Structure 1
Amino acid sequence: MSFRLPSRLLRCTLLGALLVACSPPGSGQDSGAPVQTARTTTGQAPQATRDPQSGLPFVAAQGLPREARRTLTLIRAGGPFPYAKDGSTFGNREGLLPRRARGYYREYTVPTPGEDDRGARRIVCGGQARSVGECYYTGDHYSSFRRILP
């Protein structure tokens, strides 16, 4: 005996999954919306999937590209950095990060394999120069950010 979903239900389910998968980062919520939480099956308290202050999604350091994890290690160590612009002030002109005083954010290059220049990937950290207090990752040259979990 085989089980078949009605074709309309199947189409709607697939369309819904496609819409969710193709939505731009951060389009599901604005910063004023409730914080989303991930479901757990281990009985642990759910962990927020978005930064309540910025509304940006969280990403664990382990979920970043290998090169980004190396850059975080360099930031923690205070360098040396492979690019002259690493540690320079990030102006947040896009306004995607929480508003802070000028000079609060610093940017660091995340090397992109196969690129001849600095590429599009960066880590932006706030606070003391060359620290990893409040850090964000962008893989698309500041069009979107994810808050890196400490």
Structure 2
Amino acid sequence: MALPTPTGAASPTQEAGADGPTGTDTRAWDDIDACRDDVLPPELEEVADDVASGGPFDYPDKDGSTFGNYEGYLPDESRGYYREYTVETPGLDHRGARRIVTGGGGGSPEVWYYTQDHYESFCEFAP
């Protein structure tokens, strides 16, 4: 069964901006497509920078917490491999549905995923 993504198939070379995050499929085997450039919001870049530098985060009690992958849309990994971070949605007074989910080592993740619909679908990007 193919896993849903918010964007459908996308070319790994599509870019969100000259210096911004780029939709990149670094793990072709995981059935998660690269993010289309029109899916990655501008707010994502600041959060990705914060992840890479270890913070600070807008939601320190939530950002950086373990993402359980209970939905099973991401590749099966050991508990603690995935971490989640809030991507602000302008106009909302709560966390909203947009998240970055990273896999692997803390400030130097092996893989970066984006979900715009609170874990219903994912696409892959490189900051």
Give the TM-score taking structure 1 as reference length.
0.64
Q: For the Cα contact (< 8 Å) 1:68–1:110, is it kept in 2?
A: yes
- Paired with 1:146 and 1:128, the residues of 2 have a C-alpha distance of 19
Q: For the Cα contact (< 8 Å) 2:114–2:125, is it kept in 1?
A: yes
Q: Which structure would you say has the larger Rg?
A: 1
2:5 corresponding residue in structure 1: 25
- Which blocks of at least 5 consecutive residues in structure 2 are unaligned? 13-23
Cα distance, 1:52 vs structure 2:
1.6
Cα distance, 1:26 vs structure 2:
7.1
Where in structure 1 do 4 or more consecutive aligned residues deviate above 6 Å?
Answer: 26-29
Q: For the Cα contact (< 8 Å) 1:59–1:146, is it kept in 2?
A: yes
The percentage of aligned residue pairs carrying the same residue is 48
2:96 corresponding residue in structure 1: 119
1:67 corresponding residue in structure 2: 43
Query: When you count helix as a share of all residues, which structure comes out higher?
Result: 1
Report how many residues are paired.
113
- Which blocks of at least 5 consecutive residues in structure 1 are unaligned? 1-23, 30-35, 39-47
Structure 1 residues 113 and 119, CA, compared in 2 at 3 Å: closer, same or farther?
Answer: same
For residues 87-123 of structure 1, the C-alpha deviation after alignment (integer angstroms, 9 at most, x for no partner) is 0000000100011001100000000001111000000
Cα distance, 1:131 vs structure 2:
3.1
Structure 1 residues 102 and 61, CA, compared in 2 at 3 Å: closer, same or farther?
Answer: farther
For residues 14-60 of structure 1, the C-alpha deviation after alignment (integer angstroms, 9 at most, x for no partner) is xxxxxxxxxx637978xxxxxx867xxxxxxxxx8684221111127
Match of 2:111 among 128, 134, 140: 134
Task: Give the 3-state SS of the residue equivalent to 1:94 in structure 2.
Answer: coil
**Greater relative CO (CA pairs within 8 A, separation 6+):** 2
Give the counterpart letter for 1:91 in structure 2: G
- Paired with 1:66 and 1:27, the residues of 2 have a C-alpha distance of 17
